[in-house]
Amino acid sequence: MLLNFADLRASARRRLPRFVFDYLDGAAEDERCLHRNAAALERLHLQPTCLRDTAEVDTAVEVFGARWAAPFGVAPIGLCGLVRPGGDLLMARAAAAAGLPYMLSTASNARLEAVREVAGAAPQWLQLYVMGERGIAEQMVRRARQAGFGALVLTVDVAVSGMRERDVRNGFALPFRPGPAMLLDMLLHPGWAFSMLRHGAPNFVNLTEDGTAGSAASQAAMLARTMDRRLGWESLTWLRRLWAGPLLLKGVLHPEDGRRALKHGIDGLIVSNHGGRQLDAVPASVSALPAVLDAVDGRIPVFVDSGFRRGSDVVKALALGAKGVFVGRPVVFGMAAHGEAGARGALDLFATELQRTMILLGAPRIADIERGHVVRADPHA
């Protein structure tokens, strides 16, 4: 029975070889930021209001003209095909069935057109990495526009990849050369190993327009997140020529970047520390959220990710002023354990907890969740 994040994580750990689980579960350096995300949310308490009519609860929100069944969605996760064959499609279908947005990673293992097709009318966004060869980004943006993706999300916190020590210790790199210990670990997880043998190793199929795997160098560069370090604020003009729809920045933590985003016509921000997977010394995303919200002063929607494990965590972010939350590890752990049904189960957990929290908080609609509903714990208590 999967009742919470710990259950999802434990179930995924049983099915996956260590190097795959560590790739999903791990973070940068000492992984302090990973734990800081959870601790910061724990220090936020919800303060209910009583005697409110909560007989009917509505969790729906509208974002850029699209209806979301609830104010959260699936964050971009790379290499889902290593977790399960067709992992991107499984999670996209689960999100669509729940009426929630799905953000596809540039480092996905399914063609973006195929992922868009399974969503039907459900909203989908494309997360964009800009590598040294900008032609890769250009063809992806063009294809995303033609396929009908609703928004483009430029990730801005990966000038270089974070030092993810678990991956280094496991020897996880491309080209993939498993040693004896890794081979034994694969054999000890026969369900995963059989599925990989049957379907073959995943490739970053969106790096080329025709869906071929691309060069070994480009595959390795994507895994290592070797990005264009010349990308600057002036580069947004280049992106605007390619994309006319909503353009968001993901990975913003500094309020000054929020103000710069307004000057450059950005349509939305995602406050994020990449789930603790980049710079280990940065603050928790939810701790950085209020200052970024103050900087943009309600002129564009601000979302947040990193460390959200409960529906009540989503409510905390909404009470601070976030438009919505993106969730990664809980959904991919559910998918790892039970495929599409597991991903849907994780989303259903969040939805159920969100609704229950709103009832207990005395807020029957998302608009009823207010700043006064969240308080910071006394640090001396």
The domain total for the chain is: 1
Domain range holding 361? 5-367
> Is residue 232 situated within a structural domain?
yes
> Is residue 186 situated within a structural domain?
yes
Token pair listed for 331: 């959904």
Q: In this predicted model, what pLDDT tens digit does every residue of 31-63 receive, in sequence order?
A: 999 999 999 999 999 999 999 999 999 999 999
CATH number, domain of 202, equals: 3.20.20.70
Q: Residue 139 in contact with residue 126, Cβ under 8 Å?
A: no
Q: Residue 72 in contact with residue 314, Cβ under 8 Å?
A: yes
- Indicate the pTM of the whole model: 0.96
Stretch 259-276: mean pLDDT: 98
pLDDT at 175 over 90: no
> Is residue 301 situated within a structural domain?
yes
Q: Kindly report the number of other CB atoms within 10 A of residue 198's CB atom.
A: 8
Give the pLDDT band (50/70/90) at residue 228.
confident
* Cα(153)–Cα(157) distance, integer angstroms: 12
Give the pLDDT band (50/70/90) at residue 201.
confident
> Is residue 72 situated within a structural domain?
yes
> Is residue 107 situated within a structural domain?
yes
> Is residue 373 situated within a structural domain?
no
Catalytic residues: 274
Angle among Cα 37, 39, 42 to the nearest 5 degrees reads: 115
> Is residue 325 situated within a structural domain?
yes
> Is residue 321 situated within a structural domain?
yes
